[in-house]
């Protein structure tokens, strides 16, 4: 039983600033990637999308394997907690696995947190990459073990046939080399249901970063999907915000008022008073978040005074998608109409 297994795991509530940073080894030719489904199931992903993802990852010189429970789909299009925990533990325990890539997001990866073996994960540092609902895992693992995790593309994201080059370059820069990833705005972006029709794509011109407050800052990266990060409030797995650079984004299931109050909740968390900068990912058009509206939200919060703030950055639920090291380092320099942002593990 999962519960009896959990009872035998020594629980060590750790403070992030007291836990040594663990940077996983980079990928290279021949590295092995294990695909797991800690949220929704691989059963959601079409065979054609899987074929593109498999070929693209193998073109990077990577080999693939899949967790034993990735195809299980219950009434919630997920697998039971025990299966998802087992697949994550097996991926970290297997010495042949170099990186763990999540299938897709969803809503329930935080169900796994009470049952994870932090000692096992910390003793086997390797790359974990995903975004959206996987924020609960990337933040919790970094908090509890010091392991740098990655907010970046899912396995399913690699199934995007077209307009994927920038996402792929950022992924390779972050995970195949020890070098800064420059978050330079690309000329265009997309937000469409490519997974339903690879031929129907809408390419939009990029108006660049929105510099809402200018200045210079550097610090440890904390963040991901805002509503998922807020699920960690008051738990042992909430990351330490002190002296950090926070990055947040939200998807089309949110709204302007929901984003506003979720951001307020985040600014009320312990340690936020010393946050050094705030990065906000690009909003999907469905939210109709205009620059002036976002500026009004930011200006309504005294907790954000005197911090560099840059929005419309390429992370979140639009493409291309940056690969950002959670627990890594960010450097931000902004002027009234310019911004230089870099990330490094």
Residue for token digits 């998608």?
321
Of 78, 132, 151, 254, the catalytic one is 132
Of 89, 154, 163, 317, the catalytic one is 317
Alpha carbons 309 and 210: distance in angstroms, whole number: 8
Is 273 noted as a catalytic residue in this protein? no
Is 249 noted as a catalytic residue in this protein? yes
Strands, E assignment, the chain: 32-36, 63-66, 99-102, 127-130, 149-151, 181-182, 188-190, 203-205, 210-213, 215-225, 244-249, 277-281, 309-313, 324-326, 329-335, 338-344
> How does 313-332 read in b/e, with b if 16+ C-beta sit within 10 Å?
bbbbbbbbbbbbbbbbbbbb
Sign for the CA dihedral angle at 3, 70, 25, 143 comes to negative
| DSSP per-residue string spanning 41-61 | -GGGS-HHHHHHHHHHHHHTT
Question: Residue 254 in contact with residue 312, Cβ under 8 Å?
Answer: no
* Longest CA–CA separation in the chain, Å: 57
Is 132 noted as a catalytic residue in this protein? yes
Of 31, 156, 249, 339, the catalytic one is 249
Q: Is 259 helix (H, G, I), strand (E, B) or coil?
A: helix
Cite the active site residues.
132, 249, 317
């Amino acid at each position: 039983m999962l519960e009896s297994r959990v009872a035998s795991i020594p629980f060590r509530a750790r403070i992030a600033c007291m836990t040594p940073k663990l940077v996983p080894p980079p990928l290279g030719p021949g590295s092995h990637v294990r695909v797991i489904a800690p949220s929704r199931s691989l059963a959601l992903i079409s065979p054609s999308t899987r074929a593109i993802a498999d070929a693209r990852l193998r073109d990077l010189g990577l080999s693939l394997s899949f967790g034993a429970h990735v195809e299980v789909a219950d009434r919630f299009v997920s697998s039971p907690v025990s299966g998802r925990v087992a697949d994550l533990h097996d991926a970290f325990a297997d010495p042949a696995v170099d990186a763990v890539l999540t299938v897709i997001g969803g809503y329930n990866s935080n169900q796994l947190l009470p049952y994870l073996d932090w000692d096992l994960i910390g003793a086997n540092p390797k790359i974990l990459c995903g975004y959206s609902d996987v924020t609960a895992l990337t933040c919790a693992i970094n908090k509890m073990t010091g392991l740098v995790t990655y907010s970046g593309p899912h396995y399913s994201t690699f199934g995007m046939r077209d307009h994927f080059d920038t996402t792929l370059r950022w992924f390779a820069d972050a995970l195949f080399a020890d070098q800064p990833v420059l978050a330079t705005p690309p000329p265009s972006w997309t937000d469409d249901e490519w997974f339903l029709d690879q031929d129907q794509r809408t390419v939009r011109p990029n108006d660049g970063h929105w510099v809402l407050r200018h200045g210079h800052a550097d610090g440890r990266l904390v963040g991901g999907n805002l509503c998922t990060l807020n699920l960690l409030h008051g738990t042992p797995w909430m990351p330490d915000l002190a002296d950090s650079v926070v990055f947040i984004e939200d998807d089309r299931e949110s709204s302007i008022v929901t984003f506003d109050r979720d951001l307020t909740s985040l600014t009320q968390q312990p340690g936020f008073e010393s946050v050094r900068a705030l990065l906000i990912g690009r909003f999907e058009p469905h939210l109709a978040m205009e620059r002036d509206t976002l500026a009004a939200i930011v200006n309504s919060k005294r907790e954000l005074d005197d911090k560099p703030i840059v929005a419309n950055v390429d992370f979140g639920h639009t493409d291309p998608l940056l690969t950002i090291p959670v627990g890594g380092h960010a450097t931000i320099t902004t002027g009234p109409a310019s911004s230089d942002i870099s990330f490094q593990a």
